[in-house]
Amino acid sequence: MSYLDPVSGLKVDCHIKGYKDFNTVEWVLIFTNTSGKKTYTIEQMKVIDYNALSKNGGASVIYHALGSDAKRSDFQPIKTSLGKGKSIHMEPTGGRSSDDSGFTFFNIETPDHTGIVTAIGWTGSWFADIDQTDINSVSLKAGMAHMKLFLYPEETIRTPCICLLFWESSDFMTGQNQFRRFLLAHYSRQIKGKMTEYPISGGFNWGDPSPYNEYSCLTEDYACALINRYKQFGIMPEVFWLDAGWYKYTSDNWATNTGNWEVDTIRFPNGLEIPF
């Protein structure tokens, strides 16, 4: 579906895809400047602005999580009851899509025991506002957080993708499991009709406090020692994972040079490929 503003030349394309086998729909918006001058400011844009109605009055329930804050409680399930006039705001911190205060998957259950599993496809900052305006309706608004921009001539930008799976049951886990099956059927990679088998991986994260953690202090010798420790227990992953800090950085904080692809040859004199 397309809309072209004849005055400003701003074009909006909505690419929609439905999955009848899972009662699911998804879409993404594409903004394009078709004029010869930059657009006016585009802000407070919502990729979804939806009201779910229920015949029975009562409190809607949100099943969600807070994402990761490097704690034991990461991604723990949370149940939040709304009720008339109550709302919940979700938005991750630090420009990361599932960090500390928001997770991109959540499930909305109405008093009718119908629900909507929602997924927000975005790798940066997003927001979702869920409001129970009265006893018979709950609204969902979501989009790109802090969006305030303009487009140059012929410039294009996309928005977060929204995916909605509709379910009906007295048990909210019906929706959860239906969404899991949807991801396996339509999003999980398959080769010749079979699910892809990914390599078994291990990590070097031992959880010591900064600055004495794996990102700042791991060396080739210590990495080899950890790998050999795996061997002692008959465990040999195909891949050992080091998230960050293996590159050169100029300050006391490894995070200041994130994105640098030059291996720190002082700690890793043979690079990151170590034969065994």
Three-class SS of 85-141: CCEEEECCCCCCCCECCCCCEEEEECCCCEEEEEEEECCCCEEEEEEEEECCEEEEE
Is residue 237 reached through a cis peptide bond, with omega within 30 degrees of 0 on the bond before it? no
Q: CA 101, CA 155: separation in Å to the nearest integer?
A: 32
Q: Any residues with CB less than 8 A from the CB of 24 and at least 6 apart, and which?
A: 18, 163, 164, 165, 166, 182
Q: Is residue 151 part of a domain?
A: yes
Q: Which amino acid is at 42?
A: I
Counted domains in the chain: 2
With contact defined as beta carbons under 8 Å apart, do 132 and 82 qualify?
A: yes
Q: Is residue 172 part of a domain?
A: yes
Phi then psi for residue 104, to 5 deg, are -75, -5
Query: Do 182 and 218 fall within a single domain?
Result: no
Does the model's pTM come out above 0.85?
no
Query: Do 124 and 148 fall within a single domain?
Result: yes
- DSSP SS3 for 184: helix
Query: Do 208 and 165 fall within a single domain?
Result: no
Q: Which amino acid is at 43?
A: E
Q: CA 9, CA 5: separation in Å to the nearest integer?
A: 5
Query: Do 16 and 74 fall within a single domain?
Result: yes
Q: CA 152, CA 38: separation in Å to the nearest integer?
A: 4
pLDDT of residue 206: 63
Cα–Cα distances (Å) from 208 to 113, 213, 215, in that order, read 45, 5, 10
pLDDT by residue for the chain (276 residues), tens only, comes to 999 999 999 999 999 999 999 999 999 999 999 999 999 999 989 999 999 998 888 999 999 999 888 788 899 999 999 999 999 999 998 888 998 889 999 999 999 999 999 999 999 999 999 999 888 999 999 999 999 999 999 999 999 999 999 999 999 999 999 999 999 999 998 888 888 888 888 887 666 666 667 777 788 888 888 888 889 999 888 888 887 778 887 666 777 777 778 898 988 998 887 665
Phi then psi for residue 256, to 5 deg, are -70, -20
Q: Is residue 222 part of a domain?
A: yes
Quote the domain boundaries for residue 58.
Answer: 2-191
